[in-house]
A = this chain, B = another copy of it.
């Protein structure tokens, strides 16, 4: 391995031409201009504020989402991009109900609260105080998972806690889950440096927990929130039912509550009462929002980049994924403002319905295939508006080498990760879908620092104030720099 690197560097040193060096200098100077404009005059942060504060959350099929789509179209039109279109797609429409209650009864609960407080070292005092108050009333911070059926009036069940699937199967096969409410309580593996890896290891509880427990006769499930933080916010998210099994209701509970319930349930029978009236309505018409700058050399070849415009209904969808949409919009604005003439056609896309269906991504890919729009590359930003660190590449070895060769150009801006991996849910159909028009397409997902992402993810804390202006603008500039390099170097 080292020998190969040595030989490569040796050849590079000997064969380097002034033409290549001049190109690299030009690239370096232009990328500097991109970052300068983003950091001095960036538009992403103020547009994100307008979106979050003016429209709030944007659950697929909600009136709020539709109003925000209109705003996005008008906002993009104000920049005089070559074209701005709303691309229709039908989206599912799950709706949280007016009633959303989870109660617990146990004489032991208050006594055990002190023990919880003694062991949960990192909970700050204010948080503990709020917790005591809420727990004393026996109403727990919880919310329905997206896609859950309602309870059709209050239902009750004894709490059973499981920490992994083996435990679930053991209890289930022993008949101990019949008529119970099962709490899935496997915490994030804090040892994983990327919090997305920890999420990946736990999210089966949220997505499949209801059907896993229904198989053994449970009447409802609670799922420990998908978060690294010990807090009081339930984190919602999508869940699915297996068709062959009873559909039982599912709620997320805050991580601190999951800890406490698990501790108390260990030596006390807890009776839970759940009452939620969420429902799934008929599909509704919605839209992807697309802005395009036409390519000069190869207008029929596309580079698409974007985030998803829908969000969950907790918080304001600021990091997930208002940030990604604003990254993409700002990348297009930066290139236009700097007078850049793209070789390929550049498309900024706000995909609709990533959270619970990815119908927008499917519609975009189908339309691209229908129109024969050959995509040479696609980029997605759906990991929050934090300091950018690099890219996850869905790429072959030649493409990996090409992109890694640009590392020195991006290093001054803290970009150092070029990992092989998935690029994102919304760009994937363009490459891997049944009617993909280019299965060799280079796809990239922006990787921001992940440490805080799941503090906010799908929770009421995912609001504009949780986004830092500089971190957001660095992300937009990084996306723009990568689009520029792709546009310059791809055929």
Contacts and interface: CB of A to CB of B under 8 A. Distances in A.
Interface string A172-187: 0000000000000000
A97 interface: no
Contacts of A6: 6-7, 9-10, 13
A404 interface: no
B451 A121 contact: no
Nearest to A229: B469
Contacts of A3: 10, 13
Nearest 8 A/B pairs, CB to CB? A2-B13, A46-B121, A6-B10, A6-B9, A416-B416, A39-B190, A451-B470, A3-B13
Given A16-B2, A40-B191, A193-B413, A122 B35 contact: no
A414 interface: yes
A190 B2 contact: no
B2 A193 contact: no
Nearest to A230: B469
A452 B468 CA distance: 7
A66 interface: no
Contacts of A229: 469
Interface string A310-322: 0000000000000
A21 B7 CA distance: 22
A49 B122 CA distance: 8
Nearest to A45: B122
Interface of A: 1-3, 5-7, 9-10, 12-13, 16, 35-36, 39-40, 45-46, 49, 53, 121-122, 124-125, 190-191, 193, 195, 228-229, 387, 389, 412-414, 416, 449, 451-452, 455, 464-465, 468-471, 474
A418 to B, nearest CB: 12
Nearest to A10: B6
Contacts of A39: 190-191, 193
Nearest to A411: B416
B470 A228 contact: yes
A193 B32 CA distance: 11
Contacts of A2: 9-10, 12-13, 16
Contacts of A193: 35, 39, 412-414, 474
Contact of A468 (B1, B124, B416, B451): B451
Contacts of A455: 468
A464 B13 CA distance: 51
24 contacts: A1-B13, A3-B13, A5-B13, A6-B13, A9-B9, A35-B191, A35-B193, A39-B191, A49-B121, A122-B469, A124-B465, A190-B470, A193-B413, A193-B474, A228-B469, A387-B449, A387-B451, A389-B414, A416-B416, A449-B449, A451-B470, A451-B471, A451-B474, A452-B468
Most buried by B among A9, A36, A46, A474: A9
Given A2-B9, A124-B465, A451-B471, 12 more contacts: A1-B13, A2-B10, A3-B10, A5-B9, A5-B13, A6-B7, A35-B191, A40-B190, A49-B121, A53-B124, A389-B414, A452-B468
Given A6-B9, A13-B2, A452 B464 contact: no
A32 to B, nearest CB: 9
Contacts of A190: 39-40, 470
A249 to B, nearest CB: 32
Contacts of A16: 2
A456 to B, nearest CB: 11
A12 B9 CA distance: 14
A121 B412 CA distance: 27
A173 to B, nearest CB: 31
A464 to B, nearest CB: 6
Contacts of A452: 468, 470-471
A124 to B, nearest CB: 6
Contacts of A191: 35-36, 39-40
Contacts of A387: 387, 449, 451
A40 B187 CA distance: 11
A228 B469 CA distance: 9
A121 B45 CA distance: 8
Contacts of A465: 124
